A and B are shown apart, each in its own frame.
Chain A
Amino acid sequence: MQTKGIWLAGVLVVLFLAAVPDTSRGITVPDTVILNTQSKLYEPFTFNHAKHIQLTKECSNCHHHTTGTLVQDPNCVRCHRNSSETQEVSCKGCHQTDSFSATAMHEKDPKTYHKDKPSLKAAMHRNCLGCHENMKGPMGCQDCHQRTKEGDAFYYSGAYAPKNKPSKGEHNGH
């Protein structure tokens, strides 16, 4: 009954990222970011931002909101073709941690195109995993964040793995 964000829910994203690497706005780009600080099932971990910048080169590969090159997504282009860079670039600036709570659901503005906005957890997972898959990056859960003891219990894994019981009532699963 941990209602909010069993894991990753309270991700602390301190992604203050400049629009372009030349720090035109005078904001420094963090080299590392601590993610997943409030999850119970997985440990917090350090995200090597600098390394990812090196690998991807292009900020807009991960950040939308016209950070870096202009938006390319045809669905966004319809409105944001000429939008200027936004103030807010951090993920958690827009993506909520509790997108299915009653308040979050009521806040959704039916008139905008952003109704189907994923939660912070989903946005990060989809962004990271989607890219990792294409770039042959690590894909396993524990490749990024180590599971806690509570997480082991939750998944009946590790020390909490089920003892190999003879599966009685063998026909039950038909």
Chain B
Amino acid sequence: MKKLIASGAITVNSPQKSSDRKWTFMEKLFLGLTLPQYIGQALRNPFNWIIAIIFAVGIPIILGRFIFGLSWVTHSSNDYPWGLFLAFGLFGMVPLSSSGFLLGTACEVFGRHDLEPIERLGLLNGLLGYFFAVVFLLIDLGQPWRLPFPMVVSFGPAAVLFLVAWHVSTYLSVQIAEVSVSFFEWIGFPIGVRAIRKITLGLTVSGIILSTLHQGALGALFTYAPGKVHPLWYSSSFQWIHFFVSSIPGGLCMVITVSTIASKTMSWRFDQRFKDSLDRVTVSLAKGASMGLATYLTIKLMSIAHDNKWAYLTTGYGQWYLVEIMIGVIIPMTLFAYAIHHKKLPIIRFSALLVVLGIFLNRLNTALITFNWKLSEREIPHWREVAICVTVYTIYIVVYRFILYRLPIFYQWKTQEQYALAYAAKPETTILKDTEPALVFASKTEAKAFRNAETITS
């Protein structure tokens, strides 16, 4: 893509291709390139080949799960009903998707307009994270075609999962509405944009409510199993607070991580405003994440003190618990403190990745690794289970990339008038110039981004 831009291709960032012609839908879809150009750039990207291999293996296995049943793909058993799909896919991805409500709240409710350049990334990250958490859920459910049952057929309103079902589905619609602004701009549907903007505050506030409740509810699900979740990861009174509070640094750090990967792989898509503000915004997000981590650590300690569980810390599980806290909380907190003070952005980005990994580790520990700690048998996921997780996560990355390439997330959509103005003033777009130096790193950085993504998945 960068090569193409360097050779004079224009990126789509407004309805007008040139002063007298609008982009057609197909042109928008192909990023303003011709079909051969588009296919050419896709084939040149080594990451796409890796994706192709993952899909070639993974998609048949996903189909197999629906033909041969769960026992063909998972080691989920009667003692371990929740395997990798839920531990990684649902419990891991939802907290990392809290960015939608966090940035929505910061920008729309708290009036932090300085965070606006990254607000849309936060919203999109939230939407996709939730959507794919639901995809993981659908793969894990015994009868996924009955997913709407708690809404229409049979109600179990005293169940925590009932709340999760309702809140996640409602929240998904809220997020779709929030993200649809970008989509409406892109397809050229200004009425829709205006309509959504009118209800933005309402959507954001309902987003806060729904997020608080279902982030907490996912934690509260584990309070159904007081004897099975290891005491260090369990707290009757604090479980939902643990999950809710940890989702705050989780969501913020996920946005930092995604924007880092994007800046390495698709900086051609950034507009000047985003580029100028990325570092500043990253520091702000890191500050927020540090606060979240500090709160989380305090509550974690409180819950151990509350039930007097100090003795468990000396056991093997206790050491594993400390490892998790070190990786996910204490080390990133220390690094954040240092890096924010000295404006060391690479360190901030690295610690953000640590927090993301820490969240995954925490959820895996709660739901799978230390679950049933009283039983001698530990569950080791089936290789097909891992393959499905990698595949679904890859689909998530592909969809994420597809949207980031096209919708005005990293750049602002220029209205027709603005385009005309810019065109008149500067015939050569600024974007074109800026991307040239990055050209050399094109293939290298993409491979790196993939490695990052792999670390997350594995």
* Chain B residues within 8 Å of A173, by CB: 77-78
Task: Name the distance in Å between A33's Cβ and chain B's nearest Cβ.
Answer: 47
Contact with B along A159-174 (1 / 0, CB 8 A): 0000000000101111
* Chain A residues within 8 Å of B75, by CB: 171
Contact with A along B357-393 (1 / 0, CB 8 A): 0000000000000000000010100000000000000
Which B residues, 56 to 94, have Cβ-Cβ distances below 8 Å to chain A? 71, 75, 77-80
* Chain B residues within 8 Å of A169, by CB: 71
A172 and B377 contact, CB distance less than 8 A = no
A174 and B71 contact, CB distance less than 8 A = no
A contact patch SS: loop
* Chain B residues within 8 Å of A174, by CB: 77-80, 377, 379
In the assembly, what is the distance between CA of A98 and CA of B73, in Å? 49
* Chain A residues within 8 Å of B71, by CB: 169, 171-172
* Chain B residues within 8 Å of A172, by CB: 71, 77-78
* Chain A residues within 8 Å of B77, by CB: 171-174
* Chain B residues within 8 Å of A171, by CB: 71, 75, 77
In the assembly, what is the distance between CA of A16 and CA of B77, in Å? 57
Contact with A along B78-118 (1 / 0, CB 8 A): 11100000000000000000000000000000000000000
Task: Name the distance in Å between A4's Cβ and chain B's nearest Cβ.
Answer: 34
* Chain A residues within 8 Å of B377, by CB: 174
Which A residues, 136 to 160, have Cβ-Cβ distances below 8 Å to chain B? none
Task: Name the distance in Å between B70's Cβ and chain A's nearest Cβ.
Answer: 10
B contact patch SS: loop
Chain A residues touching B, range: under 10
In the assembly, what is the distance between CA of A86 and CA of B377, in Å? 58
In the assembly, what is the distance between CA of A171 and CA of B69, in Å? 14
Task: Name the distance in Å between A139's Cβ and chain B's nearest Cβ.
Answer: 32
* Chain A residues within 8 Å of B78, by CB: 172-174
In the assembly, what is the distance between CA of A171 and CA of B80, in Å? 10
Task: Name the distance in Å between A53's Cβ and chain B's nearest Cβ.
Answer: 52
* Chain A residues within 8 Å of B379, by CB: 174
Task: Name the distance in Å between A138's Cβ and chain B's nearest Cβ.
Answer: 37
Task: Name the distance in Å between B112's Cβ and chain A's nearest Cβ.
Answer: 50
Task: Name the distance in Å between B65's Cβ and chain A's nearest Cβ.
Answer: 14
In the assembly, what is the distance between CA of A13 and CA of B338, in Å? 90
In the assembly, what is the distance between CA of A169 and CA of B80, in Å? 14
Q: Most B CB atoms within 10 A — which of A171, A172, A173?
A: A171
In the assembly, what is the distance between CA of A171 and CA of B79, in Å? 10
In the assembly, what is the distance between CA of A83 and CA of B71, in Å? 66
Q: Which residue of B lies closest to A169 (CB)?
A: B71
In the assembly, what is the distance between CA of A142 and CA of B80, in Å? 40
Task: Name the distance in Å between B84's Cβ and chain A's nearest Cβ.
Answer: 14
Task: Name the distance in Å between A142's Cβ and chain B's nearest Cβ.
Answer: 33
In the assembly, what is the distance between CA of A169 and CA of B379, in Å? 14
In the assembly, what is the distance between CA of A169 and CA of B79, in Å? 14
Q: Which residue of A lies closest to B69 (CB)?
A: A169
In the assembly, what is the distance between CA of A170 and CA of B377, in Å? 14
* Chain A residues within 8 Å of B79, by CB: 174
In the assembly, what is the distance between CA of A171 and CA of B78, in Å? 9
In the assembly, what is the distance between CA of A174 and CA of B379, in Å? 9
In the assembly, what is the distance between CA of A173 and CA of B75, in Å? 11
In the assembly, what is the distance between CA of A174 and CA of B79, in Å? 6
Q: Which residue of B lies closest to A174 (CB)?
A: B77
Which B residues, 322 to 355, have Cβ-Cβ distances below 8 Å to chain A? none
* Chain A residues within 8 Å of B80, by CB: 174
Which B residues, 4 to 51, have Cβ-Cβ distances below 8 Å to chain A? none
Which B residues, 400 to 426, have Cβ-Cβ distances below 8 Å to chain A? none
Q: Most B CB atoms within 10 A — which of A169, A173, A174?
A: A174
In the assembly, what is the distance between CA of A169 and CA of B71, in Å? 6
In the assembly, what is the distance between CA of A174 and CA of B80, in Å? 8
Q: Which residue of A lies closest to B71 (CB)?
A: A169
Task: Name the distance in Å between B384's Cβ and chain A's nearest Cβ.
Answer: 12
In the assembly, what is the distance between CA of A103 and CA of B247, in Å? 61
Q: Which residue of A lies closest to B70 (CB)?
A: A169
In the assembly, what is the distance between CA of A92 and CA of B80, in Å? 49
Task: Name the distance in Å between A128's Cβ and chain B's nearest Cβ.
Answer: 38
In the assembly, what is the distance between CA of A167 and CA of B60, in Å? 25
Task: Name the distance in Å between B376's Cβ and chain A's nearest Cβ.
Answer: 10
Task: Name the distance in Å between A173's Cβ and chain B's nearest Cβ.
Answer: 8
Interface contacts beyond A171-B75, A172-B71, A174-B79: sample of 8 additional A-B pairs, CB < 8 Å, sorted by A:
A169-B71, A172-B77, A172-B78, A173-B77, A173-B78, A174-B78, A174-B377, A174-B379
Q: Which 7 A-B pairs have the closest CB atoms?
A: A174-B77, A169-B71, A174-B79, A171-B75, A171-B77, A174-B377, A172-B77
15 A-B pairs in the complex with CB atoms less than 8 angstroms apart: A169-B71, A171-B71, A171-B75, A171-B77, A172-B71, A172-B77, A172-B78, A173-B77, A173-B78, A174-B77, A174-B78, A174-B79, A174-B80, A174-B377, A174-B379
Residues of A that sit less than 8 Å from B by CB: 169, 171-174
